[in-house]
Amino acid sequence: MIRSGYGRSYDIGVFGSVFGHTVTQNLPVLAIQNISADTNFGRVFTLAQGPPGFTNFFGLNAPPNRGGVQNATLPSNGRFFLPDGVTPRVVNFKQTLPTVDAWNVTVQHQFTQTISAEAGYVGNKGTHVFCGNNPDCEGNQPALAGFPNVPRNNRRFYFNRFGWTQDVLLYSDGGDNHYNAFQLKFTKRFSASYSVLAHYTLQRVSNYDRDYFFIDRSVNYGPADFDRTHVFVLSQVAELPFGKGRRYLGNVSKLGDYLIGGWQFNSNTTIQSGLPFNVGYDTSGISDTGPNRPDIVGDAKTGGPITRFFDPTVFKKPAVGTFGNLKRNALRGPKYWRTDASLFKKFRFTESKELEFRIETVNLFNHVNLDQPDSFIGNPASPNAHAGVISNTAFGGTDLQRNFQFALKFKF
């Protein structure tokens, strides 16, 4: 049997990407100040003083003419002048709803009454979605062109128009994402006291990152942070063949059957390839905006021991005023696998009364899954000695190690 389908879905946008935040998180309801210290390690204010106030509100004490903008009082249309140093949240005048186009082609074959298999291609494309994983992107980020000769603020788009040096958070559904996958599925429906469900996915998820998005979005296009190339899941349910009427010890006494009969075992195993990660570089004197990735000149050889998961010596300093040639999320972290299982039995006393005993375990084989390595390599003059070292278990140390729990439940 061959099945295929195509569909398009629309979304109203979330987290203010289409509507919302521009009303509740802007002047005059909320003001977000950007304040910079005179030096890298200097303070911007003390707690006793508090942040400096600003008076460039509703046109009061507006800065001098800059980029064609004159000192102004509040106009009749209600649009007041935005003071320098206060971050606005803005949207485009024209709003476009996000869409997802999804399609698939699947071949299914039934081998017996209880066994079937499927193979298929699944894809989708998001249009007018987040520029990365957040609803807003920095619309006043300095461009790299001109570094280091042109001052940082002079490379900001809105500085040359309005004198703004602050972030301008543009809630723009201007991004795209892509998903393509080959999927296999095997199903053995419950019969003869057991069932099996197994599926494998070979996939790729690509999207943009919000950094440098409005200047050159191709700089940060690549695998999504949550993309795993290979995913395999095996689930099974089996009634153990012991006790009255079963393959083994079928003639056991009633008391013996209470002890050894009616047990059921369940398990779920997940095996996944590693998540992608970036390699960070100290770009002082090289760039002051955009990604801080280095050049790569060899094989990083990922998959090594926890003391050196990848080789940090294959990266080098990019040329001044350029981004490194290493692509976004080019390396992959440790793979992941875990088996969770349960064993339980029901003791039936009457038609309406029964006792259920359960043994449940997380990470049955106590496999230690590792987190991402330290991926900041520093620079040749001051290398990070910890680069490539893994110092935690998966998911920031929250991945569960083997744990057993026992439970009794009485139904009446």
CB within 8 Å of 8: residues ≥ 6 apart: 99, 100, 101, 102
135-149, 188-202, 206-220, 249-263: segment of lowest average pLDDT = 249-263
Residue 95 covered by a domain: no
Q: Which of 27-31, 42-46, 299-303, 400-404 has the lowest mean pLDDT?
A: 27-31
Tokens linked to 279: 């390699």
Residue 399 lies in a domain: yes
Residue for token digits 């440790």?
334
Residues 6 or more apart in contact with residue 69 via CB below 8 angstroms: 81, 161, 162, 163
User: What three-state secondary structure class fits 411?
Assistant: strand
- In this predicted structure, the answer to whether residue 126 has a pLDDT above a threshold of 90 is yes
Residue 314's SS3 state is helix
- Greater model confidence, 187 or 172: 187
Helices assigned H by DSSP within 187-290: 213-216, 254-260
Domain that holds residue 305: 240-412
Neighbouring residues of 121: CB distance < 8 A, sequence distance ≥ 6 = 104, 105, 106, 180, 181, 182, 183
pLDDT tens track for 367-385: 999 999 999 999 888 999 9
Q: What CA–CA distance (Å, rounded) separates 290 from 310?
A: 24
pLDDT band at 219; cut points 50, 70, 90:
very high
pLDDT at residue 90, as a whole number: 84
Res. 65: pLDDT tops 60: no
Please give the average per-residue pLDDT across 221-244, as a whole number.
92
**Is residue 394 in a domain?**
yes
- The answer to whether residue 290 scores a pLDDT higher than 60 is yes
At residue 14, the pLDDT reads 75
Considering the domain boundaries, does residue 383 fall inside one?
yes
pLDDT of the residue at 229: 98
Share of the chain above pLDDT 90, in %: 59
Q: Residue 48 is encoded by which pair of tokens?
A: 């006793």
- One-letter amino acid at 270 equals T
Percent of the chain exceeding pLDDT 70 equals: 90
Q: 220 phi and psi, to 5 degrees?
A: -120, 40
Query: Considering only CA atoms, which of 226, 139, 228, 124 is closest in space to residue 176?
Result: 124
Predicted confidence (pLDDT) at residue 201 exceeds the cutoff of 60: yes
Least confident of 128-137, 266-275, 374-383: 128-137
Q: What is the DSSP string of 107-143?
A: EEEE-SSSEEEEEEEEEEEEEEE-SSSSSEEETTPPP
Mean pLDDT of 200-227: 95
- Please indicate, yes or no, if residue 98 is contained in any of the structural domains: no
Tell me what the pLDDT averaged over the chain comes to: 87
Please name the residue that has the structure tokens 């100040």.
Answer: 33
CA within 13 Å, CB half, 155: 19
Dist CA 269 CA 251 (whole Å)? 34
Give 306's pLDDT tier (boundaries 50, 70, 90).
very high
Summarize the confidence of residues 59-68 as an average pLDDT.
Answer: 42
End-to-end CA distance of the chain: give it in Å, rounded: 46
Residues 143-177 pLDDT 10s = 999 999 999 999 999 998 888 999 998 887 788 99
Q: How far apart are alpha carbons 262 and 358 in whole angstroms?
A: 12
Is residue 301, in this structure, part of any structural domain at all? yes
pLDDT the model gives residue 16: 67
- Residue 61: pLDDT band with limits 50, 70, 90: very low
Is position 43 within any domain? Answer: no
Count of domains in the chain? 1
Give me the residues paired with residue 179 across strands. 124, 205
Residue 59 confidence (pLDDT): 44
Is 353 domain-assigned?
yes
pLDDT tens-place string over residues 319-378: 999 999 999 999 999 999 999 999 998 877 777 888 889 999 999 999 999 999 999 999
Backbone φ and ψ for 24, nearest 5 degrees, come out as -90, -15
Residue 79 has pLDDT above 70, yes or no: no
pLDDT value for 384: 95
Tell me what the mean pLDDT of segment 95-107 comes to: 93
The radius of gyration of the chain from alpha carbons, rounded to an integer in Å, stands at: 30
Q: Is the pLDDT of residue 69 over 90?
A: no
Assess contact for 156 and 141: CB atoms under 8 A: yes
pLDDT value of position 20: 62
